[in-house]
């Protein structure tokens, strides 16, 4: 037992808490936390303010909550208040170097008045106070409306090939978004990446006055500077054990090292949200930064990248209409039931494989809708590559808890209560993606079995989730996933690891006292996960 | 006391004690290589219909060892001790059985990891 106790305390200091961050905000009245990372929250607000074209509005958005990590709390009439900005003249102005060409006074004014109801034109306030990505509560099921400050591409997922194509279009959209956000930011602020440095505040005690706290703070913990095409902002955090960097920008892919995370804009600012099982529709939502990407553009970009696909009798526009469910054909698609106009030749392997439909067996040319025609040919191509795919979904939160080092400072975060915004879902999706990357790299077994994210002052225990639109085993040709409610952690030959099983594995790890490495090794051996990365 | 130990640990200890009774050296290498994979499927199958912990252990042991079993006093004592520990608390005994029924694969993962670590 002694050994077990020792391991637990060692774990508390291990890499398992990656990625680190600070809670973005609490709900104004109840003070219940909105789960989102502070740096991500500021990037979302800034992205929404790209539409204003104002460098001051964008920079102010990127900096507006930068003192939140100092954990300055003060009891007020309506409960505790999280003090996070200073009204002292010049405090922000002096942080902004001349190399960043903005009206620094204006930036300061935006930040200092972002909670002032009299400042109705405040760009930060206008993003934070409407039912948009920051405050929109219902995020998994978006009904008819698209929340303010977001845009959406609608896709209909009524069949297996539709999932496959939607997966690819989502990937393409994220790349397009990354380029667009990066280019727009460069036009406005002459940078295309934003780098947040979480640094220890090195304060001996907690404060209840923000200006007292800033006075005691080492000035090096507060910096804003430009380096090449990147804007750097430090975020001092009280009782932070080690520094950590989170960058958002024009990157090709999500990348991580032990203490840094690089998130492409497209990953940070978009989300696949479902309308629910009945309509079978999904929205590819993204933060509205003043530009529009149409489904036609995404489909065309995707088709341009495709190589070696046989001729398809439909245009890019037909495919886009079909994917969104508005293509009207004279016939019904044999795969998904949507409108179809053209017959498609099926390959011999469709007939000879063990799992084929009677329709496919009897006729080599079927009416197929534009989406399924592309999806079918993609499947044929992928069959040869023997590849699996995953669409990371927002992680499930299984527990949140106040970190003990903040016990005496914060008395209102108790229990598991939290709120979720669209932006928070985007962050949870990143948590999932980070987990899958590390699974692929076979990195840090303890993190894989018991993943947690620090959003100081709380720690968030989460379960990664993904949808697998294309799976195969030795026995089955393909098990294409078409259900809307079928997120899994890992599909496996013997037993799928769903959220419940994952929690049981986590509990076993916490109680058994065996090393994470040997547990993980045996899980792979016994469950036989199908997704091994790559 | 049985209640001081988690249900996960007790389930793993029980399966491990049964595993310890088997002379794995006498089993062909190709089967031995897939040992845990095979055992996990057996545990899943047997646990499904077992009505008591005793019945489960008896059938599991029989499945692995066949009809005859030659065991050392030490190994037998290990199984008896852990079984006594579990059975000292009827509620706990039921919890362990239910855990194995619900999580047969995870139970095998746990005991295999314990064996690997020489516990």
User: What is the rounded end-to-end Cα distance, in angstroms, of chain A?
Assistant: 39
Q: Is the pLDDT higher at A31 or at B47? A: B47
Rounded alpha-carbon distances, angstroms, from residue A328 to A6, A325, A369, B79: 65, 8, 10, 69
- CA Rg value for chain A: 25
Of B8, B117, B119, the CB nearest to A508: B8
Coil, helix or strand at residue A426: helix
| B4 pLDDT above the threshold of 70 | no
- Using alpha carbons, select from A523, A11, A301 the residue that is nearest to residue B112: A523
What is the full DSSP assignment across A363-389? -SEEEE-HHHHHHHHHHHHHHHHT--E
Coil, helix or strand at residue A41: helix
Cis bond leading into A457, ω under 30°?
Answer: yes
| Under-50 pLDDT residues of chain A | 1-14, 478-483, 534
- Judged by CB atoms closer than 8 Å, whether chains meet at B105 and A494 is answered as yes
Alpha carbon distance A527, B91 (integer Å): 29
Alpha carbon distance A412, B83 (integer Å): 46
Q: For strand A150-156 and strand A224-227, is the pairing parallel, antiparallel, or unpaired?
A: unpaired
User: pLDDT at position A233, please?
Assistant: 98
Pick from A512, A513, A525 the residue to mutate for testing the B interface (most B CBs within 10 Å): A512
- Judged by CB atoms closer than 8 Å, whether chains meet at A522 and B119 is answered as no
Q: Tell me which H or E stretch contains A505.
A: helix A499-512
Of A501, A508, A518, the CB nearest to B117: A518
Chain B positions with Cβ closer than 8 Å to A = 6, 8-9, 12, 36-37, 40-41, 102-103, 105-106, 108-110, 112-114, 116-117, 119
Coil, helix or strand at residue A450: coil
- Judged by CB atoms closer than 8 Å, whether chains meet at A508 and B110 is answered as yes
Assess contact for A212 and A219: CB atoms under 8 A: no
Of B105, B114, B119, the CB nearest to A526: B105
Q: Is the pLDDT higher at A19 or at B61? A: B61
The verdict on A521 touching B (C-beta cutoff 8 Å) is: yes
In the numeric block, the tokens 């219909």 are attached to B49
- Judged by CB atoms closer than 8 Å, whether chains meet at A514 and B117 is answered as yes
- The total number of residues shown for chain A amounts to 534
Q: Which domain holds residue B40?
A: 2-116
- Judged by CB atoms closer than 8 Å, whether chains meet at A504 and B117 is answered as no
- Using alpha carbons, select from A456, A451, A358, A448 the residue that is nearest to residue A406: A456
- Judged by CB atoms closer than 8 Å, whether chains meet at A494 and B40 is answered as yes
- Judged by CB atoms closer than 8 Å, whether chains meet at B9 and A512 is answered as yes
The verdict on A9 touching B (C-beta cutoff 8 Å) is: no
Residues of A in contact with B114 (CB under 8 A): 512, 514
Taking CB atoms within 8 Å and a gap of at least 24, the contacts of A416-419 are A417/A32, A417/A33, A418/A32, A418/A33, A418/A34, A418/A35, A419/A27, A419/A32, A419/A33, A419/A34, A419/A35, A419/A137
Of B12, B36, B102, the CB nearest to A512: B12
DSSP state, A282? E
Alpha carbon distance A122, A28 (integer Å): 18
pTM: 0.90
Assess contact for A253 and A182: CB atoms under 8 A: no
Which chain A residue shows the shortest CA-CA distance from B114?
A: A514
- Judged by CB atoms closer than 8 Å, whether chains meet at A525 and B114 is answered as no
Of A504, A514, A528, the CB nearest to B106: A504
- The domain total for chain B is 1
Of A495, A514, A522, the CB nearest to B36: A522
Alpha carbon distance B116, A523 (integer Å): 13
Alpha carbon distance A100, A229 (integer Å): 11
**Interface size, chain A vs chain B, as Cβ–Cβ contacts under 8 Å:** 67
HSE-up (13 A, CA, CB side) for residue A74? 13
The verdict on A514 touching B (C-beta cutoff 8 Å) is: yes
Alpha carbon distance A527, A394 (integer Å): 24
**Pure H helices in A237-294:** 265-268
- CA Rg value for chain B: 13
């Amino acid at each position: 037992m002694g050994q077990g106790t020792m391991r637990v305390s060692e774990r508390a200091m291990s890499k398992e808490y990656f990625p680190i961050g600070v809670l973005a905000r609490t709900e104004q009245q109840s003070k219940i936390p909105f789960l989102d990372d502070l740096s991500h929250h500021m990037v979302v607000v800034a992205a929404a303010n790209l539409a204003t074209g104002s460098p001051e509005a964008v920079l102010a958005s990127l900096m507006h909550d930068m003192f939140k990590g100092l954990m300055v709390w003060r009891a007020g009439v309506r409960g505790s208040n999280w003090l996070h900005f200073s009204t002292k003249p010049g405090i922000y102005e002096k942080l902004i170097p001349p190399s960043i060409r903005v009206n620094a006074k204006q930036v300061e004014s935006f930040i200092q008045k972002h909670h002032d109801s009299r400042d109705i034109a405040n760009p930060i306030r206008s993003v934070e106070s409407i039912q948009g990505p920051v405050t929109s509560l219902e995020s998994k099921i978006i009904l008819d409306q698209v929340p303010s400050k977001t845009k959406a591409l609608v896709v209909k997922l009524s069949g297996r090939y539709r999932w496959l194509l939607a997966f690819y279009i989502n990937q393409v959209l994220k790349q397009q978004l990354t380029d667009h956000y990066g280019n727009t930011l460069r036009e406005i602020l002459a940078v295309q990446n934003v780098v947040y440095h979480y640094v220890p505040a090195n304060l001996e005690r907690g404060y209840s006055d923000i200006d007292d706290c800033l006075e005691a703070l080492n000035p090096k913990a507060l910096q804003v500077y430009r380096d090449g095409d990147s804007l750097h902002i430090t975020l001092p955090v009280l009782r932070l054990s080690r520094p950590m960097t989170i960058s958002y920008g024009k990157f090709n892919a999500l990348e991580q090292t032990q203490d840094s995370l690089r998130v492409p804009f497209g990953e940070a600012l978009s989300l696949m949200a479902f309308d629910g099982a009945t309509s079978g529709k999904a929205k590819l939502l993204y933060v509205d930064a003043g530009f529009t990407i149409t489904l036609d553009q995404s489909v065309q970009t995707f088709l341009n990248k495709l190589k070696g696909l046989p001729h398809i009798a439909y245009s890019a526009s037909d495919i886009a209409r079909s994917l969104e469910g508005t293509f009207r054909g004279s016939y019904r698609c044999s795969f998904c039931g949507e409108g179809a106009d053209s017959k498609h030749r099926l390959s011999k392997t469709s007939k000879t494989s063990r799992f084929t439909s009677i329709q496919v067996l009897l006729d080599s040319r079927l009416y197929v809708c534009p989406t399924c025609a592309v999806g079918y040919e993609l499947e044929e191509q992928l069959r040869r590559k023997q590849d699996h795919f995953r669409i990371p979904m927002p992680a499930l939160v299984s527990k949140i808890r106040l970190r003990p080092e903040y016990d005496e400072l914060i008395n209102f975060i108790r229990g598991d209560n939290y709120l979720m915004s669209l932006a928070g879902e985007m962050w949870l999706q990143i948590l999932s993606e980070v987990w899958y990357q590390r699974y692929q790299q076979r990195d840090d077994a303890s993190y894989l079995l018991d993943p947690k994210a620090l959003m100081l002052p709380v720690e968030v225990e989460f379960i990664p989730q993904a949808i697998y639109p294309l799976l195969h085993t030795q026995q089955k040709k393909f098990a294409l996933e078409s259900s809307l409610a079928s997120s899994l952690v890992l599909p496996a030959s013997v037993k799928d690891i769903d959220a419940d099983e994952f929690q049981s594995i986590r509990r076993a790890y916490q109680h058994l006292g065996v090393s994470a490495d040997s547990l993980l090794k045996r899980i792979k051996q016994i469950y036989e996960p199908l997704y091994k990365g790559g | 006391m049985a209640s001081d130990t988690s249900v996960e640990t007790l389930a793993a200890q029980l399966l491990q004690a049964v595993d310890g009774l088997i002379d794995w050296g006498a089993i062909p290498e190709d089967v031995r290589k897939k040992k845990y994979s095979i055992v996990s499927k057996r545990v899943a199958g047997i646990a499904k219909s077992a009505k008591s912990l005793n019945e489960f252990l008896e059938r599991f042991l029989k499945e692995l060892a066949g009809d005859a079993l030659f065991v050392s006093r030490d190994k037998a004592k290990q199984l008896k001790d852990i079984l006594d520990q579990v059975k000292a608390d009827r509620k706990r005994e039921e919890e362990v059985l239910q855990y194995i029924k619900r999580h047969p694969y995870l139970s095998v993962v746990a005991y295999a990891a314990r064996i690997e670590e020489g516990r």
